[in-house]
Structure 1
Amino acid sequence: MRKKHILLLTLIGLVALLAGCTEINQPITEESTGIWNNWFVYPLSWFITYMAELFNENYGLAIIIVTILARLLLLPLNIKQLKSSRAMQEIQPKLQELQKQYSSKDQKTQQKLQEETMALFQKNGVNPLAGCLPIFVQMPILIAMYHAIMRTEEISTHSFLWFELGSPDPYFILPLIAGGATFFQQKLMMAGSPAANNPQMQVMLYVMPIMIGVFAIFFPAALALYWVVGNVFMVAQTLLINKPMMRNNNNNTGGDKK
């Protein structure tokens, strides 16, 4: 868990560095140079503009559609993440037994613990890095979305519902929804699992929604809209995936009891 958090913080730092190295005030066009502009920002800017033109220059609706399409593309990774997360939660008791059995801090014992832990993971189909993979993919998309919004005049200057896409939500409605949806989605993932009693997971349950909400307060409303739609999509996805998984687990438990 600790290594995963360090990896996540490192990724966020690298993405922040990447974002800082690009001139945010420079308009994005077909003539823009650099791998970041040519492969991430401009294609996203072009696609949002194209979708908006199909719907009478409704850039807010275009961002919603692009967000849903992006989530659909990431769906296989997210399904793998949810299954691996559920499997990780189910083996927590066995993992804790191993940690107690090999509690000594000498190198030989710790090496044995790592070997037994990896064997337990392989036996139950758990990939410890599965939860990080969607984050690795989503972070560049998120930063590219930010640049596409700020560096495309057509997007940043248009309004949608009660807010301007290029400015923060003046009524803080989107940040509240983004934070609430993040909390609900994490709560759903933890429901009925041993991780619900894990102090670290309990902290993350509240810290992540607060972070998302605070970021959404200061960032353009278009980016907050992207977060809201993406989080609502993730809630629906978690509900659809978890129900059959929990049903199968209950059936297996019932079969074992018999």
Structure 2
Amino acid sequence: MVLVLAGCGTMDPEKNPINPANGFWDKFFIYPLSTLMDWFAELLWNQYGLSILIVTILIRFLVLPLTLKQYRSSKKMQLIQPDMKKIKEKYKDDPKKQQEETMKLFQQNGVNPLAGCLPLLVQMPVLIALYHAIMRNGEIHHHEFLWMQLGTPDPLYILPTIAALTTFLQQKMMSSQMPSQMQALLFIFPVMIFVMSMNFASALPLYWIYSNLFTIVQSYFLYGRSSNNKGGQLK
């Protein structure tokens, strides 16, 4: 997702300002989010750093039902992993029969293997629109928040460091849901986030930090607390 966002065209608000006349994307996604941040900034003493926080939390709560759906699908898949392994071993020489038995297993347990992907695909346009709304908002670009100017990289590297640390913590809390071969991402992604945050306008790593903190709290309630109840059935 980070790499997709990095390649979404110029984010300079002077070269590519937000304009509802630009088309469907700007009119119905980016412009409303940008206007909402302007409105919250007016309420919050003209502090766009706080406005980004509020809008990030609102967006994450709006997509929370989809996140919960993705979580339940993931847990169901985990519960049937032992049975899937038995099917693979039993029919290792008959791929067609293996596929048939796997589909039967899915049907018996009410598992849709694509259910975990759909919520993510639905969230992507909203999160990308929020990214554009932050980076192409001229007011945010020239605004100062705490020690930084939101339109330029953090010269003290404080934001990149916090962004990398919160990314690591976020992935660490979800590591129990990750296949063993993906454990290396625990270290790769934080490094990538740090390097990119050194070069991106401060508003973006600030958004990543807010989003990571929300995900850490969310993961605690979804994965951390449920880890004490392994083997329990999801309804």
TM bin (shorter chain): 0.7 to 0.9
Query: Alpha carbons of 1:92 and 1:27: their partners in 2 closer, same or farther (altered >3 Å)?
Result: same
Distance (Å, rounded) in 2 between the aligned partners of 1:179 and 1:216: 9
Distance 1:161 1:126, change over 3 A: farther
Out of 65-74 and 203-212, give the one that drifted further. Answer: 203-212
Distance 2:110 2:229 in 1: 16
Q: d(CA) in 1 for partners of 2:101 and 2:118?
A: 24
3-state SS of the aligned residue for 2:45?
A: coil
Segments of structure 2 that go 5 or more residues without pairing to the other structure are none
Of 140, 158, 177, which residue of structure 1 is paired with 2:143? 158
State the 1:216 CA deviation.
2.5
Q: 1:70 aligns with which of 59, 63, 71?
A: 59
1:243: Cα distance to partner?
4.8
Output one character per residue of 1:19-58: Cα deviation in whole Å (capped at 9) or x when no partner.
239986222245x321111012111111100110111111
Instruction: Pick from 141, 154, 170 the counterpart of residue 126 of structure 2.
Output: 141
Note the 1:11-90 alignment, pairs <5 A: 19-20=8-9, 25-30=15-20, 32-90=21-79
TM-score by length of 2: 0.83
Which one is further off, 181-190 or 73-82? 181-190
Secondary structure at 2:95 match in 1 = helix
Which of 170, 173, 177 is the equivalent residue of 1:185?
A: 170
Calculate the aligned-residue CA RMSD, in Å.
2.9
How much has 1:248 moved relative to structure 2?
A: 4.0
Instruction: Report the alpha carbon displacement of residue 250 of structure 1 after superposing the two structures with TM.
Output: 5.5
Shift of 1:16: 6.5
Give the Cα separation in 2 of the matches to 1:169 and 1:239: 30
Distance change >3 Å, CA 226–CA 205, structure 1 → 2: same
Residue 217 (structure 1) aligned with residue 198 (structure 2): yes
CA contact (8 A) 1:145 1:223 kept: no
- Please, which moves more after superposition, 198-207 or 44-53? 198-207
Unaligned runs of 5+ in 1: 1-7, 253-258
Which moves more between the two structures, 215-224 or 20-29? 20-29
SS of alignment partner, residue 28 of structure 1: coil
CA deviation after TM superposition for structure 1 residue 165, in Å = 1.1
Return the alpha-carbon distance in structure 1 between the equivalents of residues 10 and 153 of structure 2. Answer: 23
Percent identity of paired positions between Structure 1 and Structure 2: 48
Task: Tell me which protein shows more helix as a share of its residues.
Answer: 1
Correspondence for 1:228 among 209, 213, 229 = 209
The alignment status of 1:202 with 2:183, answered yes or no, reads yes
In the TM superposition, what is the alpha-carbon distance from 1:235 to its structure 2 partner? 0.9
Q: Deviations over 1:77-112 (max 9, x none)?
A: 1112222223323333332222222323xxxx2232
Distance 1:163 1:35, change over 3 A: same
CA contact (8 A) 1:186 1:205 kept: yes
140, 149, 152: which one aligns with 1:167:
152
Which of 79, 86, 94 is matched with 2:83 structurally?
94
Measured in 2, the distance between the counterparts of 1:212 and 1:125 equals: 37
Change (3 A) 1:29 1:201: same
Give the letter aligned to residue 128 of structure 1.
Answer: P
Partner of 2:97: 112
Q: Counterpart of 2:16 in 1: which secondary structure?
A: coil
Decide whether aligned partners of structure 1 residues 85 and 175 sit closer, same or farther in structure 2, where only a CA change above 3 A counts: farther
Give the aligned partner of residue 241 of structure 1: 222
- 2-side partners of 1:87 and 1:249: how far apart? 12
Moved more, 49-58 or 129-138: 129-138
2: CA distance, partners of 1:177 / 1:129: 34
Q: Which amino acid letter does the alignment assign opposite residue 57 of structure 1?
A: N
Whole-angstrom distance in 2 between the partners of 1:175 and 1:117: 44
